[in-house]
Amino acid sequence: MMTKNVLFLCFLFCLNALNAQIKIEFNVKNYDNDTIIIGNYYGEKTVVKDTLIAAGKGKFTYTNSEMLAPGMYIALMKPDNSYIQFLVNGKEKDFKVMYDKNDLTTVKFSGSAENNLFYGYLDFLKDKREIADTLKARIARAESEGGKDEKSKNELDALDKEVTKYQKNFIEKNAATLTGYLIKSNMDIDLPEFEGEGDELQMKRYLYYREHFFDNIDFTHPALIRMPFLHPKVNTFVTKLSSQQPDSLIKTVDYVLAKLEPNQDAYRYYLADFLNQYAQMKMVGLDAIYVHLVDNYYSKGKASWVNEENLQKMQEECQ
């Protein structure tokens, strides 16, 4: 009887594997726990996608009959919650991930050109960061002794230019990849030269920077809400680059939501996020933002996921 049950379970496993739209195998050295948690970024949060149980020491397999939505995912290990990151681009359906729990810089992939590209870029950054840290330490030491290290400063400037050039070339060559999208979206915009001086010059730079802050982000990309750069970018724009007066914040929130509207997952997340955020604000006048969102979005059918009962409660709160 037990033999039949085992055979039946094996049959089910094989059937699931055959029907899988995506299959990801994890081979983890020096990991004794029997669980890995698969999750993905979602705005400010990281959400759990599945829990994998070991099929053998350090061997885990994720399968699903539906393709994972594109974005950046994590494989989290117990009990210390250390994790690795990997990309799902919606095209690669069967790949393997191999790494050592005691050295998470050893991540390797088989069957995933996307992740090989991603980790190759991370290796490049790691090497350059080590050089930059050394140069910064020399500069700081010289300043602590009352001097200057112009040689290290010049080398650091040259290193920054080298990294920027590498990133731009990388994006040009890999524009269609998720890695290229990630790198471009993370890059700051280039500021042109402006005439003027003092406060006038600073204001020109600020206005240009704010107007073009999101230029490097494709808001229509299906991976947008599942990428780690989105929330820091939105948060910086709303809290650091915008006036915190209610009237100005209303314009800022409208501007961000207009950017996000073509991407329904991201739009829905941030419309709800803004509503919850400003509903909890205790500062005088900021309730006007909550009222604005209810009146101009929820009450006008731009949040179709909210039922009539909850919408009525929200409208009553605004009266």
* Domain end point (choices 187, 215, 236): 187
pLDDT, tens digit, for every residue of 190-213? 999 998 889 999 999 999 999 999
Q: Please report where in the chains the tokens 């930059």 appear, as a residue.
A: 132
Q: What is the pLDDT of residue 13?
A: 46
Q: Global pTM? A: 0.88
Where are the alpha helices (H) located in the chain, listed in sequence order? Answer: 2-19, 113-144, 150-173, 178-186, 198-211, 230-239, 246-260, 264-279, 287-293, 308-317
| Contacts (Cβ under 8 Å, ≥6 apart) of 87 | 71, 72, 73, 112, 114, 115, 118, 178, 179, 182
pLDDT, tens digit, for every residue of 110-167? 999 999 999 999 999 999 999 999 999 999 999 999 889 899 999 999 999 999 999 9
CB 34 within 8 A of CB 71: no
For residues 158 and 122, give the distance between their C-alpha atoms in angstroms, rounded to a whole number: 20
145 and 201 fall within a common domain: no
175 and 134 fall within a common domain: yes
Distance, C-alpha 62 to centroid of its chain: 22
Q: Which domain holds residue 163?
A: 112-187
Q: How many domains does the structure of the chain reveal?
A: 3
Whether 17 has a pLDDT exceeding 80, the answer reads no
Distance, C-alpha 128 to centroid of its chain: 22
Residue 8 in any domain: the answer is no
96 and 136 fall within a common domain: no
Q: Report the residue count for the chain.
A: 319
170 and 243 fall within a common domain: no
For residues 256 and 259, give the distance between their C-alpha atoms in angstroms, rounded to a whole number: 5
44 and 117 fall within a common domain: no
